[in-house]
Chains A and B, each alone.
Chain A
Amino acid sequence: MRFVTSHWIFSALLAAITIIVPVLNLAVPEGSALHIPTYAVSLFGKYLAFALLALAVDLIWGYCGILSLGHGAFFALGGYAMGMYLMRQIGDRGVYGNAELPDFMVFLNWQELPWYWYGFDNFFFAMAMVMLVPGLLAFIFGWFAFRSRVSGVYLSIITQAMTFALMLAFFRNDMGFGGNNGLTDFKELLGFDLRSQGMRAALFIASGGALLAGFLICRVIVTSKLGKILIGIRDAESRTRFLGYRVEHYKVFVFTVSAVMAGIAGALYVPQVGIINPGEFAPANSIEIVVWVALGGRGTLIGAIMGAVLVNMAKSYFTAAFPEIWLFALGGLFIAVTLFLPRGILGGISGSLNMLSARSRS
């Protein structure tokens, strides 16, 4: 019972933040104590995108036992799809004034737009791609891997190999995605200036909304019968299989859903930070996502969200406050949490709450 209420409280809170923060930014005058600067809105919007990504990882890892060390790849692919749309929006306002080709293609002597860039002028096509590309990759990858019963660390390492291979591929300038520089210098989204305060608030609302939707969808999945089977797979895969469930189908399904969520997170992330480049594919990034989830509490959706937000806040704060030694603080935090809060921050809190309530009951 308590669990259900906390989930509604959290949703309400998230919805409230999604609305109130932009209001405080736009409606409250700048001098006021209640005003939230645009800078903070963007920054927090980024955290929300990361939170959605953490949610996606928690869905497969926390509830189905699939540890993906390559989820950054789906995030980055979604980001690239969005970036490509934003690139097309620049039109002839690039430095070379070429309406047909993005700047990086102009100076690398490309004569025409490669076929895979077609359609990205259209917002809805691009949004479809944001979900379709990561989803399809996850489906194909999962289909093969889960059918062959690749599991455990083997799966983790090949997902890592996947994101590493994609990183190397996107680094190549011949791929037509801007190489190491990636896609940047975006101007507009749907005709609105990306730099305007209103646009930033809108992106914040979109991120908050997407996170809320993602949270609710995950809730539905994990509390349904499907979710029970997923947990069964997580805890005893062979037994679930022997009970007659087609384990690989469930795994492929949840893996694909998770990848689509990651893709959407990437699409929300890119316009808020203004750049997407192959660095997002780096295996270290994917490991970091897992760290957020573990820190917040694996297998608790709220924990994953909190983990992502807290670690990134800590990072933003540490890199400015202790630029020379912040890695000690961050690394130390990871070790301390694993040692002293083995179920993550939220797991730790709810665990002690449970213990208290159990004690009071007895």
Chain B
Amino acid sequence: MISRRNALNTLAAAALAAGVGIGAVPAKAAEDTIKVGVLHSLSGTMAISETTLKDSVLMMIDNLNKEGGLLGKKVEAVVVDPASNWPLFAEKARELIQVNKVDVVFGCWTSVSRKSVLPVFEELNGMLFYPVQYEGEESSRNVFYTGAAPNQQAIPAVEYLMSEDGGGAKRFVLLGTDYVYPRTTNKILRAFLHTKGIADADIMEEYTPFGHSDWQTIVANVKKFASQGIKTAVVSTINGDANVPFYKELGNQGIKAEDIPVVAFSVGEEELAGLDTTPLVGHLGAWNYFMSVDAPENDTFIKAWHAFIKDEKRVTNDPMEATYIGFKMWTQAVKQAGTTDVDAVRQAMYGQKVKNLTGGMAVMNANHHLSKPVLIGEIQEDGQFDVVWQTEGEVVGDAWSDFIPESAALTADWTYPWVCGNCKKPAFTN
């Protein structure tokens, strides 16, 4: 190692060349630890959401080590900051796998960050756990998707809005930030609404830039659209930062949930924490987890979280549960496989079961998506959600939506004989 640096130094006295050295010096891996990479933005625009997930992973590693580690070894976190910069995500992913030699990576939030690291994980055969609800239309051999697919969030939510209990909405405003998750989700929803006999004239679709902060016009337009004598609901896929000004405007313009309910797929406890929710009571969220659910696992988790973060006021949310399930499943799979080797662990992942924090069992399917329950909650005054509806059992996450013609034909199944993420027929036939 030293000789390499010396060689380089003699090769180029200029500072220019020293750069190769930095990349080339791997952090010396202690052989007796299992390394877990954490690839969440700690600065930049996404830090607001992702930092919590970094802390969740650290908490679970902490707990695991207290219980004696994994396979008799200590588990060590390798935290890097991809700084909400998408190409940097790819660079850091490569660094984690090649330089730090991590056994598994927990990370990413936005779709673009996942798309950016995907080729790296596939090339180097790494393993990524992705904990956020997303647009689907993907199944990689190297990624496990523990967040909700559209059929585990969007479609049940709209079904609820159309039901009698949900108010019997027949007219929809699809409001989103202009990126791939809202676009795809809304495309799926539009196709779904068509099957329910709702015409295009009764669907309004509108997109805003990231971090949009002036919602006056759009909220006024929604009001206008909703005053046509047909029960109207808003489906929001507005992303992170833009939500607070959106809800503030909504509350101030006096849109009551009884009149025009807004169901959001990206608004959880964490987003509401910066908000006075009194005027928002009754607006909805659709998730696989709510902090308010009364279940023993959930109580234990919340207690552990508060103890770890040393703040009784911090909330928990759905991506945290997804991280929790992913981490538990991975530890179980490692124990079952007896090694951290990616190929062996992957095989052990299929059918792996972990208790949901809200009761019931999460199961990892062969398409790398989970079976999870879907809950619909209404926002309360204290910033929590009250569950008003939930699916009977678990819903199987669907990688390829049935409502997009091109993708309906595709199947994701990584077990024999398919062994494929996007195929029309099995890779192996007898």
A contact set with B: CB distance below 8 Å = 10, 13-14, 16-17, 20-21, 33-37, 39-40, 42-44, 46-47, 95-98, 104, 106-109, 168, 171-173, 179-182, 184-186, 195, 273-275, 277, 279, 305-306, 309-310, 313, 316-317, 319-320, 323-324, 326-327
- Tell me whether A171 and B406 are in contact in the complex, defined as CB-CB below 8 angstroms, given that A95-B137, A320-B92 are known contacts: no
Chain B proximity of A197: nearest CB distance (Å)? 11
List 25 A-B residue pairs with CB atoms under 8 Å apart, sorted by A's residue number: A13-B12, A17-B16, A37-B98, A39-B95, A40-B24, A107-B184, A107-B187, A107-B407, A171-B209, A172-B207, A179-B183, A180-B112, A181-B111, A181-B115, A182-B112, A185-B115, A275-B115, A277-B116, A305-B16, A309-B15, A309-B16, A316-B22, A316-B91, A319-B82, A323-B42
CA distance A96 to B119 in the complex (A): 17
Contact of B119 among A108, A180, A186 (CB under 8 A): A186
Contact (Cβ within 8 A) B7 A195: no
> Is B321 in contact with chain A by the CB < 8 A criterion?
no
Contact (Cβ within 8 A) B406 A106: yes
Residues of B within 8 A of A21 (CB): 20
CA distance A323 to B82 in the complex (A): 9
Residues of B within 8 A of A95 (CB): 137-138, 410, 421-422
> Is B180 in contact with chain A by the CB < 8 A criterion?
yes
> Is B302 in contact with chain A by the CB < 8 A criterion?
no
Chain A proximity of B145: nearest CB distance (Å)? 14
Chain B proximity of A108: nearest CB distance (Å)? 6
Contact (Cβ within 8 A) A324 B42: yes
> Is B1 in contact with chain A by the CB < 8 A criterion?
yes
6 A-B pairs closest in CB distance: A40-B23, A180-B179, A323-B81, A273-B87, A33-B4, A95-B422
> Is B275 in contact with chain A by the CB < 8 A criterion?
no
Contact (Cβ within 8 A) B422 A324: no
CA distance A184 to B112 in the complex (A): 9
Residues of A within 8 A of B43 (CB): 326-327
> Is B64 in contact with chain A by the CB < 8 A criterion?
no
Chain A proximity of B374: nearest CB distance (Å)? 23
CA distance A16 to B180 in the complex (A): 44
Main secondary structure on B side of the interface with A = helix
Contact of A39 among B12, B14, B98 (CB under 8 A): B98
Residues of A within 8 A of B22 (CB): 313, 316-317
- B79 — nearest CB in chain A belongs to which residue? A323
Contact (Cβ within 8 A) B119 A184: yes
CA distance A305 to B98 in the complex (A): 27
> Is B394 in contact with chain A by the CB < 8 A criterion?
no
Chain B proximity of A212: nearest CB distance (Å)? 12
Chain A proximity of B40: nearest CB distance (Å)? 9
Most chain B CB inside 10 Å of its own CB: which residue of A20, A34, A320, A327: A320
CA distance A86 to B282 in the complex (A): 48
- A168 — nearest CB in chain B belongs to which residue? B209
Contact of B90 among A17, A274, A305, A317 (CB under 8 A): A274
Contact (Cβ within 8 A) A319 B16: no
Contact (Cβ within 8 A) A107 B406: yes
Chain A proximity of B187: nearest CB distance (Å)? 7
Contact (Cβ within 8 A) A179 B42: no
Contact (Cβ within 8 A) A273 B91: yes
Residues of B within 8 A of A14 (CB): 16
Which residues of B in the span 157-200 have a Cβ within 8 Å of any Cβ on A?
178-180, 183-184, 187
Contact (Cβ within 8 A) B115 A96: no
- A320 — nearest CB in chain B belongs to which residue? B80
> Is B346 in contact with chain A by the CB < 8 A criterion?
no
Which residues of B in the span 215-241 have a Cβ within 8 Å of any Cβ on A?
none
> Is B430 in contact with chain A by the CB < 8 A criterion?
no
CA distance A120 to B290 in the complex (A): 48
Chain A proximity of B2: nearest CB distance (Å)? 8
Residues of A within 8 A of B404 (CB): 107
CA distance A34 to B43 in the complex (A): 35
> Is B272 in contact with chain A by the CB < 8 A criterion?
no
Residues of B within 8 A of A173 (CB): 178-180, 183, 207
Chain B proximity of A163: nearest CB distance (Å)? 14
- A305 — nearest CB in chain B belongs to which residue? B16
Contact of B7 among A33, A168, A186 (CB under 8 A): A33
- A185 — nearest CB in chain B belongs to which residue? B119
Residues of A within 8 A of B86 (CB): 182, 275, 277, 279
- Tell me whether A179 and B14 are in contact in the complex, defined as CB-CB below 8 angstroms, given that A171-B209, A320-B80, A324-B42 are known contacts: no
Which residues of B in the span 403-420 have a Cβ within 8 Å of any Cβ on A?
404, 406-407, 410
- Tell me whether A34 and B20 are in contact in the complex, defined as CB-CB below 8 angstroms, given that A319-B92, A323-B79 are known contacts: no
